[in-house]
Each structure stands twice: as structure tokens, then as C-alpha cells.
Structure 1
Amino acid sequence: MTIDIESKILDDLMQKIIAKKFKVGEKLPSENELSDQYRVPRTTVRRTLAKLEERGFIYSQRGIGRYVKNESFQVELNLNGRTSFTDKIKQSGHQLITKNLGCERMEFDEHIYNRLVANSEDSVYKISRLRFIQEEPIAIHTSYVNQRVCPDIQQDGSTIQSMFSYYRQLGYTNLINRNSLLSVTFPTLSEQQLLSCNSMEPLIMIESNCLDASSDKILEHTKVLYRSNKFKYNISRDS
């Protein structure tokens, strides 16, 4: 019964914020005021407000109160096509900053090796990049590359900003993504720290293979974690 009441209060407050009955930066009524308004115990209000904060609608200032957060910017992202993430963001007019998180040889992982059609004796390197827009972390890109395909990846990996650009430098100009899988997940502790998000913020995960269309050679397997509230996802085909 308590859970049902909390859900109704949460829904009511969310609708008021969405309808701008509470404006950005406006201080919400106190726990006592909301308790009287909804005729529920203060503890019920506190749990409801905690959920509202987890969902990113409000923020707290200790000892002062809770306030409506600024509206989150959203970037339209086409999930199909032959254009790199870097180029897509630049075309959208947003300034993208990429931080290379390093390159390391990974231990054998059957799933990754199978996607790369790699042998167990092959050396596969993991290259991770953290993406920022408007100085906010919005995505983690992780590329898995077989050294047999890219012999210098161990030396080059820690400096790469865009994998598509790197492959073009190697002479691969007809790049495509294939076998893409989309799912929803929740961040690990390290991902929370990198993306500045809480444990309950859902992430969109896309796994795919990048190939050279001319030779059908698999260049990498990619896993991307997107903050779900920072993007609008265009799933139509490129013209």
C-alpha cells in the first residue's frame, strides 16, 4: 500500500516538473509541506524525493532544500550508417571532447574473440575512450582490436581519438558497422564515476563489429555505453 502511494506522489511531482508548474531552479516545498499536502508520513515523502532525485529531476543542497534541475540537453544520434561517432557529433553542431582512457591487452574472452573471429593465441587489445559534450561525460566507447589485423595497435592505441580515422590512415576507407545489438544495462561503480551518473540511471549499450566493406575484414568489435538521457536515438536508415 505504501509503495502505491509513493508511486502516485512520484508521478504527480514528475508531471508537475514536466509541465513546468515547478520551474528550473525553483525550490520544492519542504518535506513537512509535502507531507501535509499528500497526507502521508514525512518518511514516505523523503523516499519519494530520493527517487525523484535518482531520476535526475531534482537535486539537493544539504540543510537548504531540494531544487528542480536544469533540463538535460539531448543530442540526436543516428544508430545506423557508415559515419563515425566523432563525425556524427560534429555534424550535429556539438563540440566533442574525447579522453583516451588507455590501451591494454585483454585476457581471453570467448564472446569478444568469437565476434572478432580471433584465435585463442591472438593478442587482442582493448582501447577505451570517454566522450564529453558541453563538458559533460556522455558515453564510453570501448574497441577490441586483434593485433593480427592492426600490428601497431599496442603502440598506437593509447593515442587514438577516433577509430574510424585510425583505420582510414591504414588505408581502410569503406567502413561499415554490422551485427549490431542494442540492450539496456546499468552502470558499474567505475562507469558511474566516469559518466557522473548514479547506479539507477539506465545506459544504452550497443555492440557491433566494424568491417572494411571492400574486403569484409573485421577490424574491431565495439561496445558503446550511452547515457540514455543525453541522446535521442534515430533508428531510420541513412539516405
Structure 2
Amino acid sequence: MPIDKETQIIDDIMEKIITKAMKPGEKLLSENKLADQYNVPRITARNALTTLEARGYIYSIQGKGRFLKETAKPIQLHLTGNSSFTEKMQRAGYRLTTKNMYCTKISYDSKVYDALRASSEAEIYKIGRVRFIDDEPIAIHQSYVNQQQFPNIAQEGPLILSMFAYYRQLGYEAFTSKQSLLSITFPTSYEQKLFSCGSMVPLIVLETDCIDVQTQKVLEYTKILYRSDKFKYDITMNESR
């Protein structure tokens, strides 16, 4: 089945990006020139460029045109293993910073409550942090914890940058997980602002739990959103130390 002209324009430009026939900062053809080249209405060329911009491959400057974005070096990330995101990034030598965005009590959510093995009357708090590498936002971590297990979480939660570090302060030493699920989503308007990205940049979603090895208590349910264009994902079972 033949592809439509808009898709063909997108595919042809993507091929140039992948093969490095275009260089970062290089100016793309104007809408008019693309329309002439592909013998299509200008709106078709505009839609193709708008799609590429929404996906995060190009950017526009008012009055000057559209340009190819600088490609970031992918960050290798182990999705398995029993160490924290902070520890993984620090071991790999990245300059990681974290900003605590919120600590708020959530309404009843059966998925979260079941994962935490919490009663329906329990008060569950969500702690959100944005992770930056070289000052660029690359991940949003959301940790759900039971106040019955962490009585001071409402006061201490807004100060937490690393959940593992917090747990160690409370005497927990080793952690594991029993289930991890991967999926794909697209950012909400709020997440677009946090990530500084467009609506069509796919996000990798990792949902997992954190369990204390010694007591087998579920410490938290975790949902992490990763910018898919910033990582290479290592899914080998044994994380290299």
C-alpha cells in the first residue's frame, strides 16, 4: 500500500537524520520548497514539519526557519538490579541532580493500594522528583508510600531526593523487587513542561515495587517516566556493578 505524501516527507527527513546526511543545526527546506519538491500543497509540508518538531527532532526560529536539533548522547540505563537510579547514574559518571516536586496524599487507587498491600483506610502519599543530567530533565520518579509504615512521611516527604537514602536512614539496608512492568505513553501537558518536550515524544514507563530484603515488607510502589530519546535501555538480568 503506497504511503501518503506527508508520511513520505517525514520518512525521507528521518532517513537523512538517521544516516547523518543532515547535521545538527542544519536548516531544513522551507514549507514552500518542500511542497514544490514533493508536488503537494503547502499545508502537507507544514504538517510533516510540525510532526517532526513535536517528536523533538527539529526546532523552529521565528522568521528564520526550522533546524535539526543537536542529538544528545544516549544514557545507558539498567532497568533491572537492586540499586537506586541515583546510584546507577553516579556509578556511570553522570552529573545527576534531583528536584523534589511534591509530596501529596492521594485518593484511593486500587492498583496502588494493592501493590502496597494497604487497607482501603490507609493514607498513601505520592512523592514526585524530577531527575536532571547536565541540567536536562530526563526522568520523573513517583514513589507511593504508606503513612502507616512511615508516620512522618507528610513532613519528611517534601525533602526526599533519594528514596533508598531515606530508607537507609530508617534502618533498611537491602532492597529487591518482585515485579517490574514496562509500557509506553505520551506526556501530559504537565509532564511536557517538566520534561521540556513536545506531546509526541514517547515516554518509557517503568512500574515496580521496592521490598525490604530482611522483612519482605513492601516499602513503596514506584512509577518512573523516562524520556525515550535520552536513554539506551539495558535489560540484562544481572546489573554490572
Check if 1:165 corresponds to 2:169: no
Check if 1:223 corresponds to 2:223: yes
Map Cα deviations across residues 39-93 of structure 1 (whole Å, 9 max, x no partner).
2222211111111112222111111111111012311100111110000011111
Q: When the two structures are superposed, what TM-score results if normalisation uses the length of structure 2?
A: 0.95
Q: Which amino acid aligns with 1:133?
A: I
Q: Which amino acid aligns with 1:205?
A: V
Check if 1:111 corresponds to 2:119: no
Aligned mates of 1:23, 1:194 — CA distance in 2: 27
The 5 Å alignment of 1:1-239 reads 4-238=4-238
Query: In angstroms, what is the RMSD of aligned CA positions?
Result: 1.5
Q: Which amino acid aligns with 1:126?
A: K
Aligned mates of 1:57, 1:226 — CA distance in 2: 17
For structure 1, the 5+ residue unaligned runs are none
Identity among equivalent positions (%) equals: 54
What SS does structure 1 have at the residue aligned with 2:15? helix
Residues paired across the two proteins, number: 239
Aligned mates of 1:42, 1:105 — CA distance in 2: 50
What SS does structure 1 have at the residue aligned with 2:155? helix
Q: Cα distance 1:54–1:2, how it changes in 2: closer, same or farther (>3 A)?
A: farther
Q: Which amino acid aligns with 2:200?
A: M
Aligned mates of 1:10, 1:106 — CA distance in 2: 42
What SS does structure 2 have at the residue aligned with 1:131? strand
Aligned mates of 1:47, 1:129 — CA distance in 2: 35
Aligned residues of 2:55 and 2:199 also touching (Cα < 8 A): no
Aligned mates of 1:189, 1:40 — CA distance in 2: 32
Aligned mates of 1:51, 1:128 — CA distance in 2: 30
What SS does structure 2 have at the residue aligned with 1:118? coil
Q: When the two structures are superposed, what TM-score results if normalisation uses the length of structure 1?
A: 0.95
Q: Which amino acid aligns with 1:214?
A: Q
Aligned mates of 1:37, 1:50 — CA distance in 2: 18
Q: Which amino acid aligns with 2:96?
A: L
Aligned residues of 2:104 and 2:126 also touching (Cα < 8 A): yes
